[in-house]
Amino acid sequence: MSTPDALAVPPSSAGRQSGGRGPGDAAPSRPLSLSYGAVLLPLVVGAVFLLIWDLAVRLSGSTLFPKPFDVALGIIELVEQGLLFKYVVASLFRVTWGFTLAVLVGVPFGLLLGWFRRVQEAFNPMIQALRPISPIAWIPLAILWFGVSDAAPVFLIFLASVFPIAVSTMAAVQGVQMVHLRAAQNFGLTQFQLFRWVIVPATLPQIVTGLRIALGIAWLVVVAAEMIAVNSGLGYLIIDARNAGKRYDLVVAGMTLIGVIGWLLDLLMRQVERFPAVRWAYGARHE
Amino acid sequence: MNELSGPGRPANPSVQAAVVASDLGLTFPGKRAGEEVRVLKRIDIDVRPGEFVCLVGPSGCGKTTLLNLLAGFQKASRGEVLVQGEPVHGPDRRRIYIFQEGGVFPWLTVGENVAFGLRRKTEMERQRIVQHYVDMVGLTGFERVYPRQLSGGMRQRVELARALAADPAILYMDEPFGALDYFTRFKMRADLVRIWQQERKTILFVTHDIDEAVQLADRIVVLSPRPASVQAMVAVDLPRPRDANLPAYLHTRDRILGIMGMDLWSDKATRSDDASTNEGHQRQGSLTHSLAERSGPGHTETQG
């Protein structure tokens, strides 16, 4: 059959040759460039910060508060004693367990909350009432139930991260667009298929973002829990260094390690956001 | 098949209607008794297999609601919809709905979107069908691209390909080009006509753009303001592709505008001017076009 219409021209002959992205037709993606600004500027800011810190300590004449160089020496001391590796592993171990349990419980629970209105109506008030209770407030109960063991901080991390995970997953499901549900139903999907092929992929990016936030909270909480409930880990390092000999160089060394490791954990979660299964939702800035 | 033989000609009575809506009404209950919102008054429509029917009406009159009822996404408060003789109780893969905007799945690539309705096929067959329809809508080379990277018009093409790949008998299209710019819309209409002539699907197409309706339809159903009822049915018996400058085309358009009470810009002076300069066209046009109109429900259409 001959094409009856002079206008029936494919829309994008230019885009086809370039293998996917035609100029004008499809939005061009901007490559993320690591310019001098991305490396140099933070280094300058960091250096200025250290300089001010150093000067402030020298000018105040404080003997307790450490200078940046003292903190660096403190970290080296921790490495030599074999404590650094041991404490970092201990903290990461607890976060891994608490966070994994929270994901395993929080994501399915959040999906149920988002999908079934009755479940949401039944559980949401309780969740909203439990959520504002600081994980720190649970420490006495955690020690009562689990004693001084790894289980106590794991429980606290679980508590701290399960609610944000469940709530963000619920919100993600509730945010699935009606037009996508209808389009999928139109193709005769069963409830299970709808869940598997629409709800899960549609919500995954928002779930991953929720996980990223929850992991940040988990890392905050492990330090607090270790200060009270156990005798190892970076939180314990801080409280022990202060109590044992007012070693504020080690206190700040512990804080520095917590900061750097927390940052690395977040970078790790950002890598997850680059997977194709979730990247579609984040826009060109992640490409 | 000669594309001029099918559309616009009287229905073969032995062929079962593709879509029949009879005495369709929709009323939303109000907060208190007596506050019901009547959306659709009384709709009677029958669509022949392979026919291209446009639903036009003033904005807010319930065109989209009507299409949702026909597609089974919403339940009518009165009357029923029959598709190929079967009552409609919900959405069905044999009749696919194309949304105004955002209907493609952003988490799937173009190819995966088009394959969405093909789960039961073998991998090889699926690939073949996907490629066929991706080519048909002019997206060859974009199979692995995510919808976000496409323009609005291209996304609508993806949705059309996804619908066609599932091989439905009927396509419901809800202002599918409404969010596109003028030139894209122009191309999309032309391509839709070409694809419809190849695929011979029954199409129910909602639009508020009367030019679009006259460009596309075999028959135009003009709905009244809310609560909507069928105000008129206008057959458009013009050969495709349709020349928007033909007097017959303009006459059909103005006629519909008149029915909708918007004849203020069919200026008499311009019209007679037009006629004198294009006399040949005018005569030819009036021969090729025929209008069948009905002024109220219950009146059977006569044509020919």
CA–CA min distance A25, chain B (Å) = 6
Helix axes A83-115, A117-130, angle to 10 degrees: 140
Is the per-residue pLDDT at B116 higher than 70? Answer: yes
What does the pLDDT average to over A99-106?
Answer: 97
pLDDT: which is higher, B141 or A12:
B141
Is the per-residue pLDDT at B267 higher than 60? Answer: no
pLDDT: which is higher, B280 or A190:
A190
| Residue A9 confidence (pLDDT) | 36
Is the per-residue pLDDT at A13 higher than 70? Answer: no
Is the per-residue pLDDT at B6 higher than 70? Answer: no
Q: Is A200 on the interface with B (CB under 8 A)?
A: no
CA–CA min distance B200, chain A (Å) = 13
Nearest to residue B207, comparing CAs of B183, B180, B246, B240? B180
What does the pLDDT average to over B90-117?
Answer: 93
Q: Is A5 in contact with B151 (Cβ distance < 8 A)?
A: no
Contacts of A132 (CB under 8 A, 6+ apart): none
The class that CATH gives domain A65-286 is mainly alpha
The pTM of the full predicted model, rounded to 2 decimals, is: 0.76
- Indicate the average pLDDT of chain A: 85
Cα A6 to chain centroid distance, Å, stands at 54
Q: Residue B102 and residue B99: Cα distance in Å, rounded?
A: 7
pLDDT tens per residue, range A158-187: 999 999 999 999 999 999 999 999 999 999
Is the per-residue pLDDT at A16 higher than 60? Answer: no
Nearest to residue A205, comparing CAs of B8, B195, B105? B105
Nearest Cβ partner for A3 among B99, B144, B194: B194
Stretch (H or E) spanning B45 = strand B37-47
User: What band does A73 get if pLDDT is binned at 50, 70 and 90?
Assistant: very high
CA–CA min distance A262, chain B (Å) = 30
Nearest Cβ partner for B145 among A17, A20, A185: A20
Is the per-residue pLDDT at A146 higher than 50? Answer: yes
Stretch (H or E) spanning B24 = strand B19-28
Instruction: Specify the DSSP class assigned to residue B254.
Output: H
Instruction: Specify the DSSP class assigned to residue B92.
Output: B
Residue B71, both tokens = 């597609």
ipTM of this complex: 0.78
Instruction: Specify the DSSP class assigned to residue A199.
Output: I
Helix axes A200-228, A151-174, angle to 10 degrees: 150
User: What band does B298 get if pLDDT is binned at 50, 70 and 90?
Assistant: very low
pLDDT tens per residue, range B200-226: 999 999 998 999 999 999 999 999 888
| 3-state per-residue secondary structure call for A219-243 | HHHHHHHHHHCCCCCHHHHHHHHHH
| Residue B297 confidence (pLDDT) | 37
Stretch 29-68 of chain A: residues touching chain B, C-beta under 8 Å: 29
Helix axes A200-228, A139-146, angle to 10 degrees: 80
